[in-house]
Amino acid sequence: MKRTLVPTEGPKLRLLEAAETLFAQNGFEVVSVRDITQAAGSNVAAVNYHFGSRDALVALVMTRYLVPINEERLVRLEAAEARWASQAVPLEEVVDAFVRPLITRVEKSTLAQPLFLRLVGRIFASHSESWPNEIEAKASVLIDRFTRSLGKALPTLPEEDLVWRLHFVVGAIIHMLLHGQTTQRLEPRVGGAPEMAATMEQLLSFAVAGLRGGVMSPDAGVAVPSGDAGDGHRPPLQDADQVLEDGHRPPLQDAEEPLPAKKRPKKAALNSPQVMFEF
């Protein structure tokens, strides 16, 4: 597939950079051609002249940012799989390969970090139907590769559960990209403005815990809750004397009965949530 060419100088680049800033600040839906040309100091016909249409300009912005991120994700995953040869890549390394490119790409971007994060967040959050062909063609490959690698790292987790959990991880990434600064502004317990790498470490820990939580231990044959020591024991049960506000006690689980092991279905159901993936 022919790679989309990005301008390197001149009025076309000025229009592209003006569009990127406006899209990051306001979203793809509300920014008009006139907004872009005014910001770039061009006449209103410049977008159609240089890009063919507003949609083509949007597609170029999306391609310029999303394709390198997804390509680096695959490169990092392939490197991890090569290191571990025939063994399953540890969950932490799979998740790192998925998230880490956001750090490396923000460092290479000409956009200021807050604008880069918001722009990429808006691209991730956009409906896949609006993605350019260059992105769409690689999205299914990316989904399949990471799902299979995560499946090997979590062999007892049913495929449908795995798909849902990865979908929620993507949602957490989008929220962090779009609203990370809001959290820092409104939450006094988040000191200052942490570096991107520090924020990503928080996200990595959260994603790994969410993917692994309650997963069966292949050795013990029981669920290992997130944060558990891995010995197959469940966290302490609620106090038997604890009562709810209505005077009834919550039902207790059997402390000795292990959860049954689940086998991964050979094929996802037709209504699998995989269709909801948007990277």
DSSP string, the chain: -PPPPPP-SHHHHHHHHHHHHHHHHH-TTT--HHHHHHHHT--TTHHHHHHSSHHHHHHHHHHHHHHHHHHHHHHHHHHHHHHHTTSPPPHHHHHHHHHTHHHHHHHH-SS-HHHHHHHHHHHHHS-GGGS-HHHHHHHHHHHHHHHHHHHHHSTTS-HHHHHHHHHHHHHHHHHHHHHHHHHHHH-TTS-S---HHHHHHHHHHHHHHHHHTTEEPTTT-SEE-TT--SSSPPPPPPPTT---TTSPPPPPPPSS-PPPP-PPPSS--TT-GGGG---
* Spans in the chain with pLDDT lower than 70: 1-9, 127-130, 181-195, 216-279
Supply the pLDDT for residue 140. 80
Supply the pLDDT for residue 4. 53
Supply the pLDDT for residue 186. 57
Supply the pLDDT for residue 249. 42
Q: 114 CB contacts (<8 Å, ≥6 apart)?
A: 181
Supply the pLDDT for residue 120. 93
CATH class, domain 65-231+263-276, is: mainly alpha
CB 43 within 8 Å of CB 37: yes
What end-to-end distance do the CA atoms of the chain give, in Å? Answer: 20
Supply the pLDDT for residue 104. 87
Supply the pLDDT for residue 6. 67
Helix pair angle (133-153, 54-84), 10° resolution: 30
Supply the pLDDT for residue 183. 61
Supply the pLDDT for residue 125. 86
